[in-house]
Amino acid sequence: MNRKLKLKEANEKELAEERFVTKMEEVQVKELKQAIFAPNLTTMVLSAVCDLQREFPLSRESGNSDDEEESDDEDNDDDVPLVSLGKRESVHDEQEKSRKLQKVAKNNDPKIKAEYLIRVLEHVSKTWGHCYRESSKEDYAWRWEVFHGSYSTDQQWEANSPHPRVPESLPFERTHFGLSLSKTVRRDISSLSARVKEFEDLVLMNSPSSHPLEQRIATSSSVEPERPCSSAAEVDVESASAKAKIPGNILDVSSECLDQFCFLMHSLSPTTSGLYDEVLALLKMNVLRVRSGILVLADDWYENVDVFVLDDMSEYWSTDVDPDGKYCVHEEIRDTLEEKWIKYNYGWALAEYPKELIFDYSVLDEWRETFEGRREEHGNRSEGIGRFGL
C-alpha cells in the first residue's frame, strides 16, 4: 500500500514540475522574448531583421531615393539566380550566373548604419545568446563550402579553412550587456565612420602628394625648411591641422563612443561571432537588401535561401515541430518558408514548381563526400609533414 502511495506521490510531483517548467518557458518566450532553443545563425539574422522592422520603419520616399536602390529592371537583372543543385544548367545559364555573380561581387561594401547593426547584435544576444552554440569545425567548413560553391566568385576559399571561433562556445552570450543604451552614443557611432572618412579625405587633399609637382617645388623654394622631428611625440597635431586647414573638432568624439565603436567591431568580427559575415553572405545571396542603411528582406527572398535554413526549419522550428515557438523565429520567416517550399525524401522543391527539384540530397551527399575527402587528404598531408617531414 505504501509503495503505491509513494509511486502516486512521485508521479504527482513530476506532473507539477512539468507544469511549472512549461509555464516558465511560456513566460520566457512570450513575455521576456528569450528563446528556449536556438536556430542556426542565418535564421537568427533573418528573424532579427523582421523583428526590427517596426523600430526602423522605411518610408516610401526613402526606398526610391536610396543610393543602394536601383531600378526594378536593373534589380531583376542583377539578382543572384536560384541555385538549382538538382538540375543540369546550360552553357548560357552558366555564363549568365557567372556574370550576375561578378556584378554582385562588385558591390561588396554595403552601407549599413552602425546604429542598426548595434540593434541587430543586441537583439540576437538577448534572444538567443544564452542558448546558441557555435557549430563544429566540419559543419562550419561545409556551410561555407556550399556558399562559396553556389554564390561566391572567391577563388581563395579552401576546404581546409579553419573555424575562426571555438566550437560549442556561446559567441553572443552577455554581449548585449556591453552595448550602451544611450541613443546619443549610438548616433555618434553611426556618424563616426563618416567623420573618419571625411578626415582621411581632408588629410589626403592637403597632402604634398596631392598637389602638382610644380606647385610643390614653388612652395618648397619660398618656405624655409623646418627642423625635422626626432620622434612622433614631437609632432604638434593642432598646428599641423591648422596648416592643413583641417577642422579641429572633426574627430572630437567621446571616449565612450570610441569604446563602443571598438566593442561593436570586435563583436561583429569573424573571430568573435561571425554575424557580419553572415549579413554579407545573405546580401550576396539576394536574401537581404540594404535600404537607407537598414536591412530588409529582398523581393522573393524565400527563393534564395540555402538548404541549411530549410533543413533547420524542417527539423527544429517548423509549425509542426515547434508549435509553441520555443525557437523565437519570426512568424513571417517560418510561415513564408513553409508555404513556399515542399520537402520530399530526396530533396526540396518550390511549391510553385513541385516537380522541379531545387536541392537534391543525392547531389549534396556526393558533394559533401568529395569535400570531406579533400579535407581528409589535406589533414593527412599536414600530419605526415608534421610527424615525418614528408
pTM over 0.85: no
Q: How many helices and strands, by DSSP H and E, does the chain display?
A: 15, 5
Q: How far apart are CA 226 and CA 240, in angstroms?
A: 13
pLDDT of residue 348: 98
Pairing of strands 341-344, 347-350: antiparallel
Nearest Cα to Cα of residue 316 among 304, 328, 305: 328
Tell me the DSSP string of 247-310. -TTTT---HHHHHHHHHHHHHHSTTTT-HHHHHHHHHHTTSEEEETTEEEEPTTGGGG--HHHH
All three cell numbers of 191, joined, read 556618424
**For 45-73, what is the mean pLDDT?**
69
Q: Nearest 5°: phi and psi at 282?
A: -70, -30
pLDDT of residue 302: 97
Tell me the pLDDT tens digit for each residue of 172-206. 999 999 999 998 898 888 888 777 777 667 766 66
pLDDT of residue 336: 98
Q: How far apart are CA 390 and CA 207, in angstroms?
A: 53
Which range of 66-80, 122-136, 192-206 scores highest in mean pLDDT? It is 122-136
pLDDT range class, residue 354, cuts 50, 70, 90: very high
* Average pLDDT for the chain: 79
pLDDT range class, residue 260, cuts 50, 70, 90: very high
pLDDT of residue 228: 43
Q: What is the DSSP letter of 135?
A: P
Cα 134 → chain centroid: 14
| Local structure of 359: helix, strand or coil | strand
What is the residue whose three cell numbers read 624655409?
Answer: 224
Tell me the pLDDT tens digit for each residue of 152-163. 766 666 767 789
34-38 contact pairs (CB < 8 A, 24+): 34/126, 34/127, 34/130, 34/328, 35/127, 35/128, 35/131, 35/326, 35/327, 35/328, 36/131, 36/326, 36/327, 37/131, 37/316, 37/317, 37/326, 37/327, 38/128, 38/131, 38/132, 38/133, 38/327
pLDDT of residue 37: 97
Pairing of strands 288-291, 357-360: unpaired
Q: How far apart are CA 191 and CA 260, in angstroms?
A: 13
Q: How far apart are CA 241 and CA 338, in angstroms?
A: 59
Return the amino acid letter for 135: S
385 contacts: CB under 8 Å, gap ≥ 6: none
Q: Is the pLDDT of residue 117 over 60?
A: yes
Q: Is the pLDDT of residue 258 over 80?
A: yes
pLDDT of residue 251: 61
